[in-house]
Structure 1
Amino acid sequence: MKHHSSDQLPELPGDHTASAFAYTAAATGVAGVATLAAMYAIEVPKGGPYIFGTTNDALGGFFNLLAIPVILQVHRRLPANTGNETLKWVVVAASVAGSVSSFLLVFGVLEFMPSTIATVSAMTVQALWFLLAHRQLLKRPDFPRGFGRLGRFIGAALLIGLPLTGLGYVLPGPDALRWTVTGLGVALGATGWVLWPYWYFRAGRLLSHVHATTTAGSPAPQAG
């Protein structure tokens, strides 16, 4: 019989495969954050060429695909009902659409603005999944509390930050008010976005069950 502490997940078949995807998504996400920062620091002031920008777009496409197996594996811990089943396929479809839009932008098939709209829409749907899924998962006594709170915070930060940022651009009134609203939105959204790769890293560790032990203290058998 396996013993589960508050910082472990009960093991399900497929966890170890999903763990590999999670670690890869985490690394891809970190690279995405770095290339976006490099683009704004180096390429935007010079007006290009946007090598870091194009690399970031490609990484975004891969990230959305790598995220799907991880989301699906964590989603298996949710109660089986129509709402959760719908949520699962909506987030998968949004992730695929976001990935396709990124690759179409890289290959010059899609313009920047429609690709950005598709990418932000995919992020919003994923953020909604993060918020709704982790709110439910935190009700389970065997779900890691810190991991659940992290996922819930990421979802909430993005769902609040993205609309606030947009509102700041169109809000009438003094510039100080507009910049304050925009700044709050950017700060929240950026915090959630930067923490996103860390969630996947944590997911990789949890799904790998490297700390799982039997009640006798010997390593727990691993399921593929």
Structure 2
Amino acid sequence: MDQPTTIPGDRTAAVCAYAAAAAGALGAVTLGAMYAVEVPRGGPYVFGTINDATGAAFNVLAIPVILQVHRRAPRAVWTEPMTWLTVSACAAGAASSALLVLRLLDFNTSTAVSVASITLQGAWFLTIHARLRRVEDYPRSLSGLGRAIGGGMLFGFALAAAGFSVERPAWLRTALMAAGAAAAGAAWLAWPYWYYRAGQYLGGRLRSGTVPAAGAQDGG
């Protein structure tokens, strides 16, 4: 099947996916700028505030995309509850970031909520895309990227948690935490690209293989 099957809600979800990709990319840039410029100076955290705002927007925009992709996955007893749990995690992540911007929530609490939200989203990405790889109409490249992102996030967080629990030797603690941060960070940086590709797919501009449709290649 060359062209993906369109179902109601695809176009709206495609717009949200493109917007989420933009918000995620901006979030990555501002996070890097915060650590490169503002953290060494001890503030003020303008880039940090922008990053929190884009994080809130990203989580809100992700919800329609997650729901639309979920509709294409083969059903199992756990898929519906897990998807709604993930949607709830997105909403919680958006709320915590927004409250942090408004200074109604402290940094540590907001960070804990955000990490929990990302962890649940990572689990959803890994498990749902494991089922979607058997769906003919769903691009293999998109399901593979989804599994890599979800697996990378969970693996990275697990390594970091293991490192945090190790007290000695210090080099092992540092190595585990650094490796975990690298794995989770790489997956997080790839997230906006997945949403961009999801926007192409939901908008009918990505074939069930890995190549954009002819209209996407020539701008039509």
Common fold by TM > 0.5: yes
How far apart are the structure 2 equivalents of 1:133 and 1:151?
Answer: 9
Question: Which residue of structure 2 aligns with residue 19 of structure 1?
Answer: 14
Larger radius of gyration: 1
Report the residue type matching 2:117 in the other structure.
A
TM-score by length of 2: 0.91
State TM-score, norm by structure 1.
0.89
Let me know the Cα RMSD of the aligned residues.
1.5
Deviation at 1:197, TM superposition (A): 0.2
Structure 1 residues not aligned, in runs of 5+? 213-217, 220-224
Q: Percent identity?
A: 47
Post-superposition Cα deviations, 1:140-181, rounded to whole Å, max 9, x if no partner, equal: 233211110000000000011012123223312222111111
Q: Deviations over 1:68-108 (max 9, x none)?
A: 00010011001234311101110111100110011111111
Q: Using CA pairs under 8 Å that are at least 6 residues apart, name the structure with larger relative contact order, 1 or 2.
A: 1
State the partner residue of 1:72: 67
Choose the corresponding residue for 1:210, options 189, 205, 208.
205
Cα separation, 2, equivalents of 1:168 and 1:80: 36
The Cα offsets for residues 104-156 of structure 1, whole Å up to 9 and x where unpaired, read as 11111111111100000000010011001000000123321111000000000
Q: Which residue of 2 aligns with 1:122?
A: 117
Distance 2:165 2:82 in 1: 31
The runs of 5 or more residues in structure 2 that have no matched partner are 208-213, 216-220
Query: Residue 142 of structure 1 corresponds to which residue in structure 2?
Result: 137
Number of aligned positions between the proteins: 209
What residue number does 2:88 align with?
93
- Cα distance between partner residues in 2 of 1:129 and 1:211: 22
Specify the code of the residue in structure 2 equivalent to 1:48. G
Q: Is the 8 A contact 2:4 2:206 kept in 1?
A: no
Residue correspondence of structure 1 range 27-106 to structure 2 within 5 A: 27-106=22-101
Whether contact under 8 Å (2:16, 2:62) holds in the other structure is yes
- Structure 2 counterpart of 1:77, one-letter code: R
Question: Take 1:81 and 1:190, find their aligned partners in 2: how far apart are those partners?
Answer: 30
* Deviation for aligned residue 1:211: 5.5
Distance 1:163 1:115 in 2: 20
CA offsets 1:32-61 (integer angstroms, 9 cap, x no match)? 000000000000000000010111011101
Aligned equivalent of 2:193: 198
